[in-house]
Amino acid sequence: MPARLSRHDPLLRAAQRLQQAIVAGLGRVDRIDHIVCSLQDAHEALGRLTHQHQRARSHGFGLAAQRLRALQRRQLFQLQSLTNQLLADDVPVAAEPPALRAVLADLQQLHQEFDTVQVDLKQRWISITTDDIVLEDIALGPFEIRLLLGRIAAHPDSSAFDCIALEPNPAASSIQTTYPHLSV
């Protein structure tokens, strides 16, 4: 049976923070109801604008009618955007939040797979450092892969990670290009 961890153990605290970030992200993931409510609100607003536009035209308020027509167009674009979000294949389905024990086990596994695992709770990140990576006989060196806890709730995908070249090999023509032979 594994040893019981103190509540002050940095790995346990990191697991708790990571679990909280994931749970916060799940609340954002299950957004279909929110989109439907927004669609209803936008439709009602369009109806009000249409009524106001008709009244402005009937009273001969040309400038007001023109302004209301522009607002109607904006509302139509909002309806279109919300409808596209609902119809998109990428609207995720809500998932069950991971158990704290599972998150902790994953963080402990990092220590078994990588020599360098860092946790910075103040800066809100967890990182590992890879061994030297060689791609098609080209030495790329080691990388730090950093999970930013502040990003994971809003972006539960690869954009929650930063990949940092620890021994960059910039192009002679531009130091902005870390690995010129891999540029796209």
Asked if pLDDT for residue 176 goes beyond 60, the answer is no
CA-to-CA dists, residue 175 to 119, 131, 143, 168, 183, angstroms: 29, 23, 18, 9, 12
Cα 124 to Cα 108: distance, rounded to the nearest angstrom: 18
Q: What percentage of the chain reaches a pLDDT higher than 90?
A: 24
Asked if pLDDT for residue 5 goes beyond 70, the answer is no
| Average of per-residue pLDDT values in the chain | 80
- Confidence band (pLDDT; 50, 70, 90) for 99? confident
Least confident of 87-96, 129-138, 161-170, 175-184: 175-184
Asked if pLDDT for residue 3 goes beyond 80, the answer is no
Domain boundaries of the chain, sorted by first residue: 31-87, 113-182
Least confident of 30-34, 45-49, 139-143, 148-152: 30-34
Report the first-to-last Cα separation within the chain, whole angstroms: 50
- Confidence band (pLDDT; 50, 70, 90) for 159? confident
Cα 46 to Cα 64: distance, rounded to the nearest angstrom: 16
pLDDT at 113: 92
Asked if pLDDT for residue 4 goes beyond 70, the answer is no
- Confidence band (pLDDT; 50, 70, 90) for 144? very high
pLDDT at 28: 54
Report whether 17 contacts 152 (CB < 8 A): no
pLDDT at 55: 92
pLDDT at 1: 38
Asked if pLDDT for residue 54 goes beyond 90, the answer is yes
Q: What percentage of the chain reaches a pLDDT higher than 70?
A: 79
